[in-house]
Amino acid sequence: MIRKLIALVSVILISGISLLLMWSMVGTVEIADSDAMDTAKALYEDGKYPEAIQVYEQIASTGVRDSHVLYNLGNAYALNGDIGRAILNYERASEITPRDLDIRHNLALSRAEAGISSDLPAVNPLLEISILSKAWVSLNEISIIALATWIISGFLILIYLILSKKSLRKLIGALAVISLVITLGASITFAARIMSDNRAITSIVTKPNTFLQDNPYSESEGGFELPEGTRTQVIEQHGNWVLLTTLDQIIEGWAPEDAIESLAF
């Protein structure tokens, strides 16, 4: 009896800590100013795309993590002829709501217009898992799934230990195994996303005619040209130059720092 009581207290404590961690990961969400959104929308509908971009950028700069703001900003950039920043903001919007069909559609159209592949092959399992998961779930959703199934697994194991009826124990045991498998999968995916994002800064090429150079000392014509909207990783910086590699790590070279913008926002 004492053992079961200790197990119950342990599960309750772990669950409480897990819920606190979950809350801290989700964090607070800044709400976009409705007046500013109305202003930006009116400018957009009037075809005043540079002015609409300015207002949407101001909204985004306040710390608002709203996929609608980023999606509309991407649309304004696309119609203003800035395909690199259109892709940048569609990518950012997709990080928040990866299953949004409108964002997916416009991102695919913009990539096709820029002449870049929709999906580049990854060269290591962690990066592959990270890329695949980003198409379906956000980082917050993964963390919530992992923590929620961990809590559920704990309670199922506790119930399994308490029950004496064999048929029920068998059912609860099977459910606990399923829950633990989901927890493991979500945890691996979460770790892959964190590790791949921390290993190098993921960025988007936003400057036209970006040529990769062999060294960071002088900019010259020639070299491999990266189309606007290309997803890259920054692996080193030297002054105002950054060493970039494509996600498949086939192409590598130096480019001016102002030729890219980080996906982080």
pLDDT, tens digit, 9 for 90 and up, residues 102-111: 999 999 999 9
pLDDT-derived band at 12 (thresholds 50, 70, 90) equals low
Mind listing the pLDDT tens digit for each residue in 67-91? 999 999 999 999 999 999 999 999 9
Alpha-carbon distances, residue 95 vs 65, 130, 132, 225 (angstroms): 10, 12, 12, 26
Q: Both ends of the chain: CA-CA distance in Å? A: 52
Choose from 5-14, 51-60, 151-160 the range with maximum mean pLDDT: 51-60
- pTM score: 0.74
How much is the pLDDT for 77?
Answer: 97
- The pLDDT assigned to 201 comes to 64
Q: Quick check: 92 pLDDT over 80?
A: yes
* pLDDT recorded at residue 265: 73
Contacts of 109 (CB under 8 A, 6+ apart): none
pLDDT at position 133 over 90: no
**What's the rounded Cα separation, in Å, for the pair 161 and 265?**
46
pLDDT in tens, 190-229: 888 777 665 556 899 999 989 998 888 766 656 788 999 9
Mean pLDDT of 118-139: 69
- Which pLDDT band, with edges at 50, 70 and 90, does 15 fall under? low
- Please give the Cα distance from 4 to 162 (Å, whole number): 7
- Give the model's confidence band at 48: pLDDT under 50 very low, under 70 low, under 90 confident, else very high: very high
**Average pLDDT of the chain to the nearest whole number:** 82
Over residues 30-40, mean pLDDT: 84
DSSP at 183: H
